[in-house]
Every structure is written in structure tokens, then in C-alpha cells.
Amino acid sequence: MNENSIFSNAFRSPPANTDAELALLGAILTNNKAFARVEDILEPDYFAVPLYGRVYEICRNLINSGIEASPITVKSPLEGDPLLGRQKVGEVFAIILKSVVGWLNARDYGSAIRDAWVRRTLFKACTETIDLCCVPGDAGAPDIVDMIETRLLSLARGMGEEKATVSLASAMEQARLNAIAASARGDGLAGTTWGYKALNRMTGGLLPGAVYVLGARPAMGKTSLGFGIATRAAAAGSSTLFWSGEMTPDQIGARAGAAWADLSTQSVFAGRRYDIPEDLETGERLPLESWQWRDLEAGEKAAASLPLEIDSQPAITVARLRSRARRMARSRTGLHLLVVDYIALMSSGSEHADMKPYERITIVSRQLKQLAQELQVPIIVLAQLNRENERREDKRPQLADLRDSGAIEQDADVVMFLHREHYYLKKQADAGVQRKDRETNEDYANRCSALAQRASASEGKAEVIIAKNRQGPTGTCHLRFTDHTTWFRDTTEDERSPAWSVPTGDTIH
């Protein structure tokens, strides 16, 4: 393309098909059967001429109310409309009725109108992109790419084929066939495994197209549990994509290595022993022993066969995440699970940098729900809770504690909360028990002792509280948490067993 053609493109008008708009409106006003042929593919704002879109909207309202749409019935609601300008209603009808076509051809004209609308939308997006690229401003190249990707994603969804309606009998048949397939697998799961028996028992597995929100306060271990689920699901044969907005791949790898080798994460980062005291003479930590290095290498070999990919693109948009997920879905391994850590770190892809967190997370939450349904894979979304639970005597989280956006709860099929009571009891014990007025020495000592006992008894215990479940019961699952490796296990697991293992036989997904 030469320079002259570039400049000529800049002065082209947005695509429109006013002839098709007039022909369709004429067909509807003379025979309302024409409307039934286009109502599923046309909206009033698809019309290039706003006034014609308004006429279409009035016709739709009348027909849906059981009233025939004709020049007589449309005249009254159209009179006085600002879109008329200086035109009279009779003049508008005269123009429309010159272009009457048979109602059987209405679908073709509706498709032409929709096609022109798609082209105008693309034209507008491209024009705005050119402006952002050529005019100095605050938007950087990554911001412009995110904006255009998000708009194209939204447009692509709007252009998708309409899903046919399904009879109740067909829906029940599909559910029965799904149950037969699940039963034949022998694992008792309706979907992808969580990698934790307690969660599998409560939910029946991760269902395709569903969104699972895992909320927690900082330091509860939500990233550790999210990554543990991703790793164990991959070990069971489910191809998994794990996006992290706050950790680099090597940091995530350090956690996996620590879990496999039963080392503290500090040891993996520093290459020093934190499982024994410092050297008394030098005051330094000793280097890892050769057997500990071998254990780390063994963990790498164990992870080599896992179908698990890590994405650490910061502030990623759902549009870009979709692109990467679709690429993985088309690969040989496919895609069976997506884990997002965490939602507040994602970008909405909007050009409005001053968007409030509530608005941004609402947009992202809705887009993730659409992505799960489009790819037909479960998505686990990690979310940070607000501080309300810390003001309560019972620190267990509630649905109201979801940070910044009620849309997360609304869009999620399952909402879970990770809670470790030991974290709060230990903080309270370390801070010291405040003595009450007129409290005897004995009562004070008893309270201190009771707190210490509760803290000791709660060590290593974790709860996953299922507060919302569209497909099953709510309740609490119990797990064990190893603090120095930051790894979760089922309560029945041996702490010396591998952090994950690939089972023999058929894989689960």
C-alpha cells in the first residue's frame, strides 16, 4: 500500500447501507412477518441512520406488545422525537414506503444492515487507534493494544452464531450422557479434578464453563492453594494455564521446588539451609547439602511431564488472556483449566485510566465468565477480601467480604473462602493477652494458657469454606498447610509424600 492510498483511507466515510435499512423498514410496516425474520440479529443501534433505528425500535415495541406496527400506529410515538429534526413524520414514511420489499427477503436486508454495523464499529475502533498512535498523549503502546484487543473481543462475541434453543428432553438426555461418562471414568467426578479429595467430594470436580472464586485475606495462602490446584490438576492429566499478576515464573518455580523437596521457600531462593540454626561461629546459614540439591532437581524432572503453563504478563486484559488460552486450547495438549491469580491485578482494557476499582473488577469479572463459557473450561479466580472479617470476633470470611465488586459473587458459580485460624491466633498470642480490669492472676494465666493451646491445636489446619454453590451443597472442606513450604495437602495425606504425583491409568479432565 502506497502513501497516497493511506491518506485516501483516512478520509473514507464509515460504511453504511441505508438502502437496506429503508427496504427493511418498508417491509416491516407493510407486513409485520418481516420483523420475525430479523429480530434475533438486529438491534436499533445497528442502523446507520439513528432515525431509522428509532423507527425500528418503535415497531419492535409495538409488535412485542401485540399491536400491529403500521404507519398509523408508529406515527404517534414518533412525533416530537428529537431525531426527526425538521422533518415531518409523513415525509419519513413517504421515503420508507418507496422501498418496500417482500417480507420473505427481510432476513437478507437485516444481515446487510448488521454487516454494515460491524464494519462501522471496526472503522471507529481503527480510527481511534490511529488517533492514539499519531497524537501525543498518556496512552502507551501496550495500552493501545489492550484497548483494541478488548474492543475486538467484544465485537467478536457479538458476532457469534446464535445458539439454537434446546428442548427440556434434549437437555436431560445430555445431562444423563454426561453422568454416564463421569461414571465410566471411575473417579466419581463430573469434571476436572481439584487435586484435593476434600474439594472433589464437596463439588464433584471443576465443571466446564463454570467460574470458581477463591477469596482470602493476605497471608492466608490463596496463591499457594491456587497454584497447588493447578499443579495437581495438571498431574492428573488436565492441561492447565496459570496466570500470576504478582509473581515471576522463577518465584512460582521456587514454591514448587520447596514443596517437592520439603524445603522452606527461603532455602530455595537463597540456596542456604533454613531447616537448621545459623552457624554459631560465622552467624551465616550453611549452603544446601548435595542431597537437597538432588531433591530440587528431582522436582524439576517430576514437573517436566506436567501440562502446566505459567503466564506472568502483568496487568493482563481478558482479551489477551483469551488469546493465550485459545492458542493453548488449539495445541496438542488442549486446555482443561485456567487459574487467575488474582482478579484485582487484571486490566479491564478500557482507555479510561481513572476507572474506579469497583467498575474495573465488575468488567473483568463479567469478561472472565464469558471466557469460561466460550472456551468451555473451568476458571478459578483468586480474589482478595476486604478487612471486615478482621473486625469480627469470628474471623471466618463471609460473602460480604469480597473486595470492591459485588459482580464477582454474582458471576461466580462457586464462591469459596480460604481461612487459617492459626494465623490470627498466633498474631494474638505474639501480641500478648491484654489483662482485664479486676482480673485475678489465676484468671489471666488461664486465658493466656487457653489462647496458647488454641493456637497450638490450630497449627497446620486450613478451611476452605464453600459459601455459594450453584451446583451442590455449601459447607467446609478441611486441608493441612505446611508453613515452611507453603503447600496444602489433604488431611489424610502423609506430609512426606510427593507434593504431586501422576496417577497411573486414565487421566482426568
CA–CA separation, 456 vs 459, rounded Å?
5
Q: How confident is the model at residue 121 (pLDDT cuts 50, 70, 90)?
A: confident
Nearest to 377 by CA among 322, 332, 309, 313: 322
Residue 102 has pLDDT above 80, yes or no: no
407/376 Cα distance (integer angstroms): 21
Give the separation between CA 33 and CA 439, rounded to whole angstroms. 85
Task: Give the per-residue pLDDT at 177.
Answer: 80
Q: What is the mean pLDDT of residues 204-215?
A: 93
Taking residues 483-504, report their average pLDDT.
85
Q: What are 153's three cell numbers?
A: 473481543
* Residue 139 pLDDT: 65
How remote is the C-alpha of 8 from its chain's centroid?
41
Residue type, 132: L
Contact 26, 97 (CB under 8 A): yes
Residue 342: asked if its preceding bond is cis (omega within 30°), the reply is yes
**pLDDT for position 481:** 94
Q: How confident is the model at residue 469 (pLDDT cuts 50, 70, 90)?
A: very high
N-to-C CA span, the chain? 48
pLDDT confidence of residue 1 = 43
Higher pLDDT, 22 or 168: 22
- Rounded to whole angstroms, how far apart are CA atoms 106 and 22? 11
Q: Which residues contact 470 (CB under 8 A, 6 or more apart)?
A: 210, 413, 414
pTM recorded for the entire structure: 0.72
Q: Is the pLDDT of residue 10 over 60?
A: no
Cell 537448621 -> residue: 276
> How far apart (Å, rounded) are the C-alpha atoms in residues 224 and 235?
16
Which residues sit opposite 272 in a β-bridge? 287
The predicted structure's pLDDT at residue 136:
66
Residue 319 is predicted with a pLDDT of 79
Q: Is the predicted pLDDT of residue 507 greater than 50, yes or no?
A: no
More confident residue, 353 or 279: 279
Separation CA 367–CA 375 (nearest Å): 12
Element (H, E) at 265: helix 265-270
pLDDT value of residue 404: 63
Instruction: Report pLDDT for 157.
Output: 57
- pLDDT value at position 354? 55
DSSP β-bridge partners for residue 381 = 213, 340
Quick one: pLDDT band at residue 285, thresholds 50, 70, 90? Answer: confident
pLDDT score at 503 = 47
pLDDT band for position 508 (cuts 50, 70, 90) = very low
Band the pLDDT of 84: cuts 50, 70, 90: confident
Indicate the range of 109-113, 158-162, 360-364 predicted with least confidence.
158-162
Least confident of 100-109, 252-261, 361-370, 411-420: 100-109
Banded pLDDT at 191 (limits 50, 70, 90)? confident
pLDDT at 283: 80
pLDDT at 11: 53
Q: What is the mean pLDDT of residues 248-262?
A: 91
**pLDDT for 330:** 83
Q: How confident is the model at residue 504 (pLDDT cuts 50, 70, 90)?
A: very low
- Any idea which of 24-33, 303-312, 402-411 has the lowest mean pLDDT? 402-411
Sheet of 240-244: strand order equals 308-311, 240-244, 337-341, 379-384, 211-216, 414-419, 461-469, 475-482, 487-490
CA 80 – CA 78 distance, rounded (Å): 6
Helix axes 249-261, 222-235, angle to 10 degrees: 70
Q: Is the peptide bond before 358 cis (omega within 30 degrees of 0)?
A: no
Q: Which domains occur in the chain, in start order?
A: 3-136 (1.10.860.10), 188-420+460-490 (3.40.50.300)
- Can you give the pLDDT at residue 471? 84
pLDDT, mean of residues 94-120 = 84
Q: Any idea what DSSP says for residue 259?
A: H
Mean pLDDT of the chain: 84
Give the pLDDT confidence of 319-370 residue by residue, as tens digits: 788 888 888 888 888 999 999 998 988 887 665 555 677 888 888 888 899 8
Q: Which of 298, 306, 295 is nearest to 261 (CA)?
A: 295
pLDDT of residue 186: 63
Most confident option among 346-355, 425-434, 465-474: 465-474
Q: Please state, in angstroms and rounded to a whole number, the distance separating the CA atoms of residues 85 and 325.
A: 49
pLDDT surpasses 90 at 461 = yes
Predicted local distance difference test score (pLDDT) of residue 509: 44
